[in-house]
Structures are given as structure tokens and as C-alpha cells.
Structure 1
């Protein structure tokens, strides 16, 4: 009964199981329930947070997957992606684990400094391809369509030239409103960008997401203490990323 209940509703708590069994006339402790489920290969884990997908989003993702299922790897090597991300000074981007001895949890080496509201953060825009990283810049104001187009003009196009993308390279970005407004679409058309059609609610599919994760880990390891240092370290760590690393990151995503 226990296994059947959690198979039907994986978010059933141990307390729920105790109450259900008690109503059925059986008294079983939480520990017994846990041990029984563990023997069946089931353990309690934090539920992953995923985008809320409507049927139209599911169909769009399925259509995208089918259209690109047989694309050769060389095609993806000619895609250059852009995206934005937020990096916090202190908080969830910081290192969260430390090897320590008993009763040493408060030793400065084993702690992470925190301040209220995370101590501030910076927004970054960057682009990259399997050939290597493009430019990385800090976005100091709230980005709108006009600013986005200016960033593409001043930073994306020079990045594409510096990366020596092959003729017919493809531009990939997500479906943020500033990227899909008519003015931006018209600008991309006039610049003769070949834009990869991208399904909505698919931020996790952008290959550059892997790169952001690597950057945040590297920055956190250096433990910047103020916003100025945070920005400097982000730029330094971005510049260290080798093209060989990017090829494997993009291959794993695509």
C-alpha cells in the first residue's frame, strides 16, 4: 500500500502515509515507512522546479525536437548564442559545501559570509559558440528592446567576426519580449541575421546556460567582497574559458 500510494502521488509525505495507514487500522512509524520505500529504490528528494508548460508549449518543444533531431553536429557548431544572467555577490551562487571536522562548522574557512538581500548583484549579457566565448558586458540598466538592439550592434556583431563564424552562421536567442518585438525582428532582418526558431518556455535549452553555470562556480570560488570586485572577477573568469571547454559544453546541451 505504501509503495502504491507514493507511486500514485510522489509528493505524499511520511506524515500522510502514517495517517492513511492509521485510518486503515495499521500503526506504522515514519521511519518504518521510509525504510520500506528505500528498500523499493525510492527516496525522498527535493522536487525540481520546472517551467509551467501549457499544451502549446509542449507541442512547440516537440516540433523543435523533431525538426532538429537529425541535424549533423557541424550545424550546431555554426550557432552563436546570446543570453543574460544575474550573478549575486553573496547568496545562492556561492559555494555551499565544505569538508570540515566535527565542531568546526563556525571556523571562517568553513563558512560563507552573507548579508541581507544578498549584498547586491550584477546583470551580464554574453554570447558564445562552440568556437569560443564572445564578448561579456555588464548591463547596468533595465534592458529594453532598444538597449538590446544596441548591445547586439556593439557587441554581438564584433563577437561573431572575432569568432570567425562560418558563412551562414545562425543566431540563437530566447523568446524574451525585448527579443521578439517587431522593431527587434525588423533590425535582425535588415542585418540579414539567420535566426534559429526557438520554442517558448525553453530557457533551459539554451547552450549558454551551461556556460553561465561554469562562470558562477568559478566566480564563487574567488569570493568577491564587493560589486566592483564581482564585475572584475566575472570578466577575468570569462576570459579564461577555453574554446575546447565550450565545445564539450555545447555538445552536452545540443
Structure 2
């Protein structure tokens, strides 16, 4: 499992997890180790930003939401079928394209390559994805909830 977070002027390190991610792993090995809350608080101020995540169970468990809501604003509930509204999904697609011609020989080499791709993403790419959120919301409303993938 690969996890990373972006925001305007914020990018966490990439977190690689071998095995299953449950609530405890998500809180301790991802949220805490990534320092995402501290990074966003430092950039925007405490409780002056919104943490957006998808609806997978470790993200939406009562324990996770309690933990997060004590430390930041959380977009909850998140619409169940809304990948169009999550800029990180488009970032994963960009990374996938960059990784297409890579042929790692083993897991260690793959982790090195994907981490390098993540670390060398341009700020312009990240900013465009974050700023596009307003347009995404308008398009989803205009399309009455239908996919907007054809626009991106």
C-alpha cells in the first residue's frame, strides 16, 4: 500500500506499507509518521484546513475519525463514489504514467523508483491538481454527479 498527501504548498513523504492497513496501522504508521497534520497546521494554522480522504474502512472507522477530529477538520462523510473530487487520484494516475516504462527487478527497486517519482513531482503539477478542486466541484454539480474524467 502506498500513501501520500498533497495540499497547496504541502507534500508529505511517500509512505509504503507492506501488508494490510487497518485502523491502528492507518493512524500510527501513516497519519502520525507522515506528519501530515503538523505540516498542514504549520502551513495553514490549526483547524484552518480540511483533511480529505476517501471512504475506505481504516479512514472512516470511529477510532480514526475521533483521532483526526481532535487534531483537524475532516471532510466527513465523504461521497462514496467520488474519485473525481479527490485530486490525489489524478496524481496517482500521473505517477502511473511516469512508471509505465520502468521495469524494476524487485520490490526494493520498485520502492526506490516510485519514491523518486513522488519526490520529483513538480510543484506546478501539485498546485494545478489542488487548484482544480473548484472546477471539479462545478463539473460534478453540472453533470449531476456523473463522472468528470473526460474533462481531465
Query: What TM bracket, shorter-length normalisation?
Result: 0.7 to 0.9
Q: What's the C-alpha RMSD, in Å, of the aligned pairs?
A: 1.8
Conservation of the 8 A alpha-carbon contact between 1:135 and 1:159:
no
May I ask how many residue pairs the two structures share in their alignment? 129
- Residue in 2 that maps onto 1:144: 22
Q: Distance in 1 between matches of 2:105 and 2:55?
A: 34
Query: 1:132: Cα distance to partner?
Result: 4.2
Counterparts of 1:135 and 1:212 in 2: how far apart (Å)?
A: 14
SS at match of 2:44: coil
Q: CA deviation at 1:252?
A: 3.4
Which structure is larger by alpha-carbon Rg, 1 or 2?
1
Structure 1 or 2: more strand by fraction:
1
Matched with 1:231 is: 111
Asked if structure 1 preserves the Cα contact closer than 8 Å seen for 2:8 and 2:127, the reply is: yes
Do the aligned residues in 1 keep the contact of 2:55 with 2:80 (CA within 8 Å)? yes
What are the residue-to-residue correspondences of 1:49-198 with 2, within 5 Å? 123-150=1-28, 151-155=30-34, 156-160=36-40, 164-167=42-45, 168-191=48-71, 193-197=72-76, 198=78
Deviation at 1:158, TM superposition (A): 4.4
Unaligned runs of 5+ in 2: 137-152
Task: Give the alignment of 1:11-22 within 5 angstroms.
Answer: none
Give ranges in structure 1 of 5+ residues lacking alignment: 1-122
Structure 2 distance, partners of 1:190, 1:158, is 13
**Larger helix fraction of residues:** 2
Q: How many angstroms does 1:213 deviate by?
A: 0.9
Q: Distance in 2 between matches of 1:172 and 1:189?
A: 12
- 1:219–1:230 Cα contact (<8 Å) kept: no
Q: Which moved more, 1:128-137 or 1:180-189?
A: 128-137
